[in-house]
Amino acid sequence: MKNIHNETVETLAATFKREGFKTFAAKQVFDWIYKKRVHDFSEMTNLAKGVRAYLAKTYVFGRLETVRRVVSDDGTIKYLFGLEDHHLIEAVLMDHPYGKSLCVTTQVGCNIGCAFCASGLEKKTRDLSVAEMVMQVLEVEAKENLRVSHVVIMGTGEPFDNYDNVMAFIDVINAPNGLEIGARHITVSTSGIVPKIDAFAERPLQVNLAISLHAPNDAIRSKLMKINNVYPLAPLLASVKRYVEKTNRRVTFEYILLDRVNDEMAHADELSDRIRGINAYVNLIRYNPVKEFDFKPSEEARARAFFDRLMKRGIVATYRRERGGDINAACGQLRIREQKGR
């Protein structure tokens, strides 16, 4: 039996066509699942009997098991989910003035293994299926009795290392008959897989792209992110320029401020020179300390000075505090704690 949440409108329509059913029934099925939130094919009363019977013998509705739900002082809610093969993944719900945003996980573990990141402490065990990503949204919505308005694909894993499933996931949550979350309300973050940035630029949807930069030069970036040895800054920034040219969209450069590692004034200057002219802004992120690593967040005064320097040099930047720090909400942390039984 297959999980129905793995299907996009297009794949389901193709299946229906092959089976000799009307393809528009795919949209009707999506309405039942994602609008009316029905969990049983027999309730899909406007479908032909044959279609219902086919669905019932082919598909199941999967569920994620909520292992833990932790609420932070600032209202951030972290979910730890158990998959069918008992691996643990997490999703984080954030309450913003503009809506509810969910941070979704794309892989069990992460092979990129960045030096500062809890998710990279464990090698990737496997990619998540489309359904396992879709179900993170559905489970949180059901448990909290709300609708998620924004999705950030920034949980554990490298989304562009699970490209096809992540793209299908985006299609399901964006589909008018699906969760109908606007493309502009969806953000995907990558450590910088150049060929996939180029592929992503070819897609019609106006989904936001964030690039984890974290360094002003190759020497520092290679120390923090070993992916930089494969895709160094020059080809990475060239692909970002191509993306902006092709899509006319502004990208976000993420930059975690790490004390005495990448937060010197000279680094702000170098960064400004490197990215000047690219339609982008820099999102300065406060580091959420991870016990296993020695990195520390930049002192507030240094962070402010770095921010001011970028702005003075004509680079648009934002600086906000990391949310959910008291519940290990950053990337992969709760999961790691749980597995180690702490």
Among ligand SF4, ligand SAH, none, the one that 330 touches (CB under a kind-dependent 5 to 8 A) is: ligand SAH
Part of the chain binding ligand SF4 (CB under 6 A), chosen from 64-72, 117-125, 230-238, 311-319: 117-125
Q: At what angle do helices 130-144 and 163-174 cross, to 10 degrees?
A: 40
**Residue nearer to ligand SF4 on the CB measure, 216 or 332:** 332
DSSP states along 304-322: HHHHHHHHHTT--EEEEPP
**Residue nearer to ligand SF4 on the CB measure, 158 or 263:** 158
120 binds ligand SF4 (CB under 6 A): yes
Measured in degrees and rounded to the nearest 5, phi and psi for residue 96 equal -115, 160
Q: How far is the CB of 54 from ligand SAH (least distance, A)?
A: 37
Among ligand SF4, ligand SAH, none, the one that 306 touches (CB under a kind-dependent 5 to 8 A) is: none
- Tell which one of 162, 191, 252, 333 touches ligand SF4 (CB under 6 A): 191
- Cβ atoms of 200 and 160 within 8 Å: the answer is yes
- Work out the burial of residue 204: count CB atoms within 10 Å of its CB; fewer than 13 is exposed, 13-18 middle, 19 or more buried: exposed
Q: How far is the CB of 68 from ligand SF4 (least distance, A)?
A: 20
**Token couple for 213:** 């930069």
- Cβ atoms of 323 and 72 within 8 Å: the answer is yes
Q: Which residues are catalytic?
A: 90, 331
**Token couple for 1:** 């039996």
158 binds ligand SAH (CB under 6 A): yes
Among ligand SAH, ligand SF4, none, the one that 120 touches (CB under a kind-dependent 5 to 8 A) is: ligand SF4
Beta strands in the chain (DSSP E): 2-3, 59-60, 65-71, 77-82, 88-96, 99-103, 107-108, 126-127, 150-153, 186-190, 208-212, 251-257, 280-286, 317-320
x-or-dash pattern for ligand SAH, window 179-218, by CB under 6 A?
----------xxx--------------------x------
**Residue nearer to ligand SF4 on the CB measure, 156 or 247:** 156
